[in-house]
Amino acid sequence: MTALLIEYIWLVLIFPLLGFVAIGFLHTKLSEKVIGWLGTAAVFLSFLFSLILFIEVIWFQETAFAETRAIYSWLSTAEVDIKISFMIDHLTLVMLLVVTGVGCLIHIYAMGFMGGQKGFTRIFAFMNLSIFFVLLLVLADNFLLVLSGWSGINICSYLLISLNYEQDTDIQAGKKIFIFSRFADFLLVLAVLFVFSFFKTFDFEQIFRTSIRTISEPGLTTTICLLLTFAVACKAAMVPFHVWARDAVIAPIPVSVLLTGLFLSAPSIYLIARCHVLFLQSPMAMSILSIVGLFTAFLAATIAATSDDVKRVLAYAAVSQIGFMFLALGVGAFDSAIFHLLTQAIVIPLFFISIGNLEYSAKEIKTGVVLRQKIPSSYRIFLIGALTLSGTPMLSGFFSRNEILWRTLGSQPLGGFVFWLIGVLISGLTVFYIFRSFFHKFYTEPAPTKNPVAIKRLKPTMSIPLYIFAFLAFAVGLLGLPHHSKLKNFLEPVFTNYVKTDLFDLEPQMLPLEISFTAIVILVSLIGFGFSYLLYFVKPEMPGRILLSTRPLNNFITHNWYMDELYQSLLLKPARYLANISVQLIDVKILDKIRLLIPQYLETLSVWLNKLQTGLIRNYILSFVLSIVMIFAYFLLKSN
Amino acid sequence: MIPASYYLYLSAILFVLGIIGVLVRRNLILILISIELMLNAVNLTFVTFSNYWGVYDGQVFVLFIMVAASAQVGVGLALVKTIFKKKAIVDVDKFNLLGQ
């Protein structure tokens, strides 16, 4: 039997949209509390619905589950029939749960964090809308719907980032993100057009079937895949588009969580996992995907290792982990990428929320032992997050990243090993930077302050999501135990539906090898921890001395590898120059003159025309009669 | 039998007379009467053609036009009366607010 709820799948989408509409229209009549609960309830209902659907599928479904439901015919012509229709398979179900679950927790947190602040209404309206668009993207069964969801996410990121629209930094950050996401849009539109021009349809199902059956030109598939790769790279702040990740954390904490935890990774990773059929036919796109991912993981890790602002460290940690997901996608380990996405969608919010709680309860203190003593919950949760991110055995990050590394190793004989080696180095670096900011935040001696520190009590809405996230950080790992991965079994039908890949048999006889390679990863991680312990706990004066000796390198990294400056000189300066020239030449010399001439001529004309208005009825009638006579005369002469 | 063209000439002459009346007369009431004259010229054309082709659509039209014309005369006279009450004039040339 099929799951009953599948017929009502549009309900998942409707709840957040209704929430957005209700908050948008009624915000003047409702109190802050009602708005908060309304927004949260909208996402929670979606989550509940997805959860019930998920349980139904797990319990009552023996075979792989993949259904499409069309609800509306959007555009129907002889050549193409575009429907608003939703595709629900195992991948979609997992993504639905992640997006609505994490989204719901963030909503609860935002209720506490944003309480009484400006922009409370707007943040809830926009968050609901953005959840709607992500769900639309995840559920879409054709490229046009994906495109709508994708653009919707862009506009929502822009609105959320520039939430404090009175602050100049926020506005600039919003603009930057908007421009970058428009560029991503542009690339995706190109990819979709290529797809349409070749396959003559937008439907995923048909595109994938056709692409396997016909031996398509490899160049075309590669073009499409490369466009898709760069579109999602731009969206997920991969190299060379990583510069905007820094600006994502300017906005209030709930926005940062939503952006870095969900919107950076979920749409991009999902889209590539969905299009895995196309990617598997283009080895070149796959390798570019993994190289981009690996390079980003490294670059973001270096930036995170030199940044002193915890939020910025976390933003780049998120980017670095998305780099790992790209690597996993690139080596064909699609389910590992989804698994890593799942664990990171929990770890990153965990960090941000614990930092947000620190910010909330003790705004004046940036770092110091006081924080550890006075707000132990944040301290402990941050530690759990740090342990998870650095891949401590039995926590979720351990399983997900090691699986990616192991699958990378098995992907190609030589390249795989090089990738693995770099990946392991990055793991060490990850441990280093996360504990660096941990020690920096909680173990430095604070500057002596005169007045006693006021500690605000946390609201329950702020601490409960934190504990849920912390619990999940433990629990989610159990879904993906190596060789007994429930998630992998669940996702396997999706990735073997069209193409039979041998990526899914990990040979059992390789077990000793796998264990020893994992041991190397743990060893490198321990070295990373040792370094940060030595440098930032035992001898806190050491880093300063090291920095002095390696100033150029350090400058290079802290300036985002001078990528901002590169954009400045390559794009902004020529654009400004061009704009200046066109202002002086075209605007002042040509357009302004025309602008001034037109009213002059109009005035003369109107003065002249004014004389016709005598006000005498007989004059009007005369002209009326004369015109009729002339019209008759014309037709009479013409007919002869 | 009188040919149809005679009727048409008559109706054309009546129509032109109506137009001339509208154009040269100054008295509002006479202008209204001239408009009636034009309408009746048109009526005559309708009836002529109706008779000529042997279909009765034209006759029906004439009835409609008569009803419309009487309604229009009612409105027109009411306007003339109002104007006269306000300004004590029936001369259209003195009534050129648009041109001022």
What is the reported pLDDT for B100?
A: 60
**Residue at B49 is within a domain:** yes
For residues A580, A585, A586 and A587, what is the CA-based torsion angle, rounded to 10 degrees?
70
Both tokens of A469, joined, read 């996230």
- φ, ψ of residue A513 to 5 degrees: the values are -60, -45
Q: Would you call A616 an interface residue with chain B, using a CB distance cutoff of 8 Å?
A: yes
Distance (Å, whole) CA A565 – CA A561: 9
Asked if residue A48 and residue A189 are part of one domain, the reply reads: yes
Distance (Å, whole) CA A348 – CA A331: 24
Is A613–B19 a contact, with Cβ atoms under 8 angstroms apart?
Answer: no
At A79-136, the pLDDT tens digits run 788 888 888 888 999 999 999 999 999 999 998 888 878 888 889 999 999 999 999 9
Q: What's the domain range around A76? A: 4-445+455-544
Distance (Å, whole) CA A238 – CA A326: 9
Contacts of A214 (CB under 8 A, 6+ apart): none
Taking contacts as CB-CB distances below 8 angstroms, the residues of chain B near A625 are 19, 23
Is B92–A617 a contact, with Cβ atoms under 8 angstroms apart?
Answer: yes
Domain count, chain A: 2
Distance (Å, whole) CA A300 – CA B57: 87
What is the reported pLDDT for A504?
A: 47
Both tokens of A43, joined, read 């996402």
| SS3 (DSSP) at A499 | coil
Mutating which of A616, A623, A626 best tests the B interface, going by the most B Cβ atoms within 10 A?
A: A616
**Residue at A233 is within a domain:** yes
Interface pTM, i.e. ipTM: 0.79
At A544-590, the pLDDT tens digits run 667 667 777 777 776 667 777 777 788 888 888 998 988 888 888 88
In the block, tokens 């016709």 appear at: A612
Query: Across-strand partners of A89?
Result: A66
**Residue at A153 is within a domain:** yes
At A436-487, the pLDDT tens digits run 888 888 887 766 565 566 677 778 888 888 888 888 888 888 887 777 778 8
Mutating which of B28, B79, B96, B100 best tests the A interface, going by the most A Cβ atoms within 10 A?
A: B96
Query: Across-strand partners of A75?
Result: A82
From the CA of A597, how many Å to the nearest CA of chain B? 28
Upper half-sphere CA count for residue A120 (Cβ side, 13 Å): 22
The string over A254-289, giving b where at least 16 C-beta atoms fall within 10 Å of a residue's C-beta and e elsewhere, is: bbbbbbbbbbbbbbbbbbbbbbbbbbbbbeebbbbb
Asked if residue A514 and residue A393 are part of one domain, the reply reads: yes
- List B residues 54-93 in contact with A (Cβ-Cβ < 8 A): 92-93
Crossing angle, helix A376-389 and helix A460-475, to 10 degrees?
Answer: 30
Is A615–B100 a contact, with Cβ atoms under 8 angstroms apart?
Answer: yes
Q: How many CB atoms lie under 10 A from the CB of residue A636? A: 9
| SS3 (DSSP) at A364 | coil
Of A615, A621, A625, the CB nearest to B99: A615
- φ, ψ of residue A86 to 5 degrees: the values are -115, 145
Is-contact A381 A463, C-beta < 8 A?
Answer: no
Residue length of chain B: 100
pLDDT band at B78 (very low <50, low <70, confident <90, very high): very high
Is-contact A487 A331, C-beta < 8 A?
Answer: no
At A319-337, the pLDDT tens digits run 999 999 999 998 888 888 9
For residue A413, give the DSSP letter: S
At A180-218, the pLDDT tens digits run 889 999 999 999 999 888 888 888 888 888 888 776 677
**Residue at B100 is within a domain:** no
From the CA of B63, how many Å to the nearest CA of chain A? 25
Mutating which of B34, B97, B98 best tests the A interface, going by the most A Cβ atoms within 10 A?
A: B98
Taking contacts as CB-CB distances below 8 angstroms, the residues of chain A near B99 are 613-616
Region A141-164 average pLDDT: 90
Is-contact A513 A417, C-beta < 8 A?
Answer: no
What is the reported pLDDT for A215?
A: 65
In the block, tokens 């969801």 appear at: A149
- Judge residue A609's burial from the number of C-beta atoms within 10 Å of its C-beta, 0-12 exposed, 13-18 middle, 19 or more buried: exposed
At A272-300, the pLDDT tens digits run 999 888 888 888 888 899 899 998 998 88
Both tokens of A370, joined, read 């006081």
Q: Alpha helices, DSSP H only, in A215-333?
A: 218-235, 253-257, 266-274, 276-280, 283-306, 310-330
Taking contacts as CB-CB distances below 8 angstroms, the residues of chain A near B98 are 613-615
DSSP H/E element including A132: helix A120-139
Q: Which residue of A has its CA nearest to B26?
A: A618
**Residue at A350 is within a domain:** yes
Is A616–B97 a contact, with Cβ atoms under 8 angstroms apart?
Answer: no
Q: Would you call A615 an interface residue with chain B, using a CB distance cutoff of 8 Å?
A: yes
**Residue at A550 is within a domain:** no
Of B23, B24, B98, the CB nearest to A613: B98
Q: Which residue of A has its CA nearest to B28?
A: A617
Mutating which of A611, A614, A618 best tests the B interface, going by the most B Cβ atoms within 10 A?
A: A618
- Nearest by Cα to A260 from A248, A271, A272: A248
Is B92–A618 a contact, with Cβ atoms under 8 angstroms apart?
Answer: yes
Percent of chain A with pLDDT over 90: 19
Mutating which of B23, B28, B38, B89 best tests the A interface, going by the most A Cβ atoms within 10 A?
A: B23
Asked if residue A180 and residue A273 are part of one domain, the reply reads: yes
DSSP codes joined into one string, A427-487: HHHHHHHHHHHHHHHHSSPPPP-SSPPP-PPPPHHHHHHHHHHHHHHHHGGGGG-TTS-HH
Q: Which residue of A has its CA nearest to B16?
A: A625
Report the DSSP pairing between strands A81-89 and A66-76: antiparallel
**Residue at A105 is within a domain:** yes
What is the reported pLDDT for A524?
A: 85
Asked if residue A619 and residue A537 are part of one domain, the reply reads: no
In CATH, what number is assigned to the domain containing residue B87?
1.10.287.3510
Q: Is residue B97 scored above 60 in pLDDT?
A: yes
**Residue at A371 is within a domain:** yes
- Nearest by Cα to A232 from A263, A256, A199, A196: A263
| Distance set, CA A455 to CA A118, A458, A491, B54 (Å) | 22, 9, 46, 102
| Distance set, CA A196 to CA A79, A190, A556 (Å) | 11, 10, 43
What is the reported pLDDT for A15?
A: 92
Q: What is the 3-state secondary structure (H, E, C) of A111-123?
A: HHHCCCCCCHHHH
- List B residues 12-51 in contact with A (Cβ-Cβ < 8 A): 19, 22-24
Q: Which residue of B has its CA nearest to A621?
A: B23
Q: What's the domain range around B80? A: 4-91
Distance (Å, whole) CA A20 – CA A127: 8
Both tokens of A567, joined, read 């954009």
Region A523-552 average pLDDT: 76
DSSP H/E element including A529: helix A511-533
In the block, tokens 């600039």 appear at: A172
Name which of A379-388, A586-595, B18-27, B90-99 the model is least confident about: B90-99
Region B65-73 average pLDDT: 93
Is B99–A618 a contact, with Cβ atoms under 8 angstroms apart?
Answer: no
Q: Would you call A542 an interface residue with chain B, using a CB distance cutoff of 8 Å?
A: no
Q: How many CB atoms lie under 10 A from the CB of residue B9? A: 11
Q: Is residue A389 scored above 90 in pLDDT?
A: no
At A8-61, the pLDDT tens digits run 888 888 999 999 999 988 888 888 888 889 999 999 999 999 999 888 888 876
Domain count, chain B: 1
Is-contact A319 A242, C-beta < 8 A?
Answer: yes
Q: Is residue A355 scored above 60 in pLDDT?
A: yes
- Nearest by Cα to A178 from A267, A87, A259: A259
Q: What is the tally of helices (H) and strands (E) in chain A?
A: 27, 2
**Residue at B84 is within a domain:** yes
Between A362 and A609, where is the model more confident? A609
Give the Cα-Cα-Cα angle A408, A411, A415 (nearest 5 degrees): 80
**Residue at A566 is within a domain:** no
In the block, tokens 């919707």 appear at: A152
Q: Is residue A502 scored above 60 in pLDDT?
A: no
Of B24, B92, B99, the CB nearest to A613: B99
Region A635-639 average pLDDT: 90
**Residue at A493 is within a domain:** yes
Q: How many CB atoms lie under 10 A from the CB of residue A362? A: 19
Is-contact A524 A424, C-beta < 8 A?
Answer: yes
Name which of A587-591, A612-616, B26-30 the model is least confident about: A612-616
Distance (Å, whole) CA A628 – CA A622: 10
What is the reported pLDDT for A209?
A: 85
Q: Would you call A617 an interface residue with chain B, using a CB distance cutoff of 8 Å?
A: yes
